[in-house]
Amino acid sequence: MKAIQFTQTGGPDVLTLTDLPTPSPKSGEVLVRLAAIGINYIDTYHRTGLYSVPLPYIPGSEGAGVIEQVGEGVTGLSVGQRVAYAMQPGSYAEYVSISADKVVPVPDGMTDQQAAAVMLQGMTAHYLAFSTYPIRPGDTVLIHAGAGGVGLLLTQIARMRGARVITTVSTDEKAQLSRENGADEVILYTQTDFAEEVKKLTGGQGVNVVYDSVGKSTFEGSLDCLKPVGMMVSFGNASGAVPPFAPALLAAKGSLMFTRPSLAHYILTRSALLERAGALFNWVASGQLRLEIQQPYALADAAQAHRDLESRKTTGKLLLIP
């Protein structure tokens, strides 16, 4: 099968199109012929070595396709069934063999591209808004990188929960897209001091929660945006990892709460996975959740997709088509 692999960590050029043996499903696994592969920012952390992975490595954590073979002991899934998954390695390929309890059936009426687009970023937005900080009606929330994959979905879900949503983005075009997806206020954080702007927009009060996936460059400012006892959710590092800090900083900034969550721990059980994916599929089907899927890249163009993502050129969801 064709797959993208890297044998050493580094820039996008380490992503190499390779011929590899098609995997065979082990006991408890299903072999999926991929129709659409989701690109996520975490794929760049694996490639650069920010998050360490065993080498050689096939990147990619998300996809949708058709079950081609069923391993020993698998029940409830059959050959020909359409499925999707997230947070499983080896996705930049024509085939992936994964644990049967990590896949979810894709409903009729949902395309493979939609399924691959909504799983990882959608379930992330879901757990952030429902579980990490359960948003209440009337809350004001700040979402950084509001026009990105997670950002657009989290904005819509935060609005469904009844929040007033403030986002940050780097360009006017991204600001417009963020507004179209429900942001009440958008701040160009590359041009203005976003913490000052948030204070102005909230009459000096601050926000209940900051969802910060940008990391290093926004961390301190994000703490300054919070109300006393507000929650700082640091869930990504697009600008670099947040450096170590003293817990006393949280007291000085208003007895803040701080968490550094990962989707992996919010879909640990099969029921959590089915509940979060099911909610997203229903919202997409009913038109309550809009997906912004960009022109897909060919599998062979994975390196270009990474370049575009890391240079902040992209909005919404990026896909690879094998």
Cβ proximity to ligand NDP, 22 vs 239, nearer residue = 239
Task: Give me the least distance between CB of 215 and ligand NDP, in Å please.
Answer: 7
Cβ proximity to ligand NDP, 30 vs 277, nearer residue = 277
The DSSP call for residue 235 is: -
Cβ proximity to ligand NDP, 30 vs 166, nearer residue = 166
Q: Which of 196, 212, 214 is nearest to 256 (CA)?
A: 212
**Closest residue by beta carbon to ligand NDP:** 148
Task: Give me the least distance between CB of 35 and ligand NDP, in Å please.
Answer: 20
Task: Give me the least distance between CB of 201 and ligand NDP, in Å please.
Answer: 18
Which residues on adjacent β-strands are paired with residue 141?
165, 209
Task: Give me the least distance between CB of 78 and ligand NDP, in Å please.
Answer: 30
Distance CA 267, CA 76 (A): 20
Cβ proximity to ligand NDP, 136 vs 260, nearer residue = 260
Cβ proximity to ligand NDP, 48 vs 69, nearer residue = 48
Contacts with ligand NDP by CB under 6 A lie at: 40-42, 120-121, 124, 145, 147-151, 169-170, 174, 213-214, 217, 235-239, 261-263, 309-310, 312, 314
Q: What is the DSSP string of 153-194?
A: HHHHHHHHTT-EEEEEESSHHHHHHHHHTT-SEEEETTTS-H
Cβ proximity to ligand NDP, 67 vs 223, nearer residue = 223
CA distances from 270 to 69, 226, 295, 319 (A): 21, 34, 32, 25
Copy the structure tokens of residue 235: 């869930």
Task: Give me the least distance between CB of 214 and ligand NDP, in Å please.
Answer: 4
Distance CA 65, CA 33 (A): 5
Task: Give me the least distance between CB of 247 and ligand NDP, in Å please.
Answer: 21
Distance CA 270, CA 58 (A): 25
Query: Tokens 């994916």 label which residue?
Result: 277
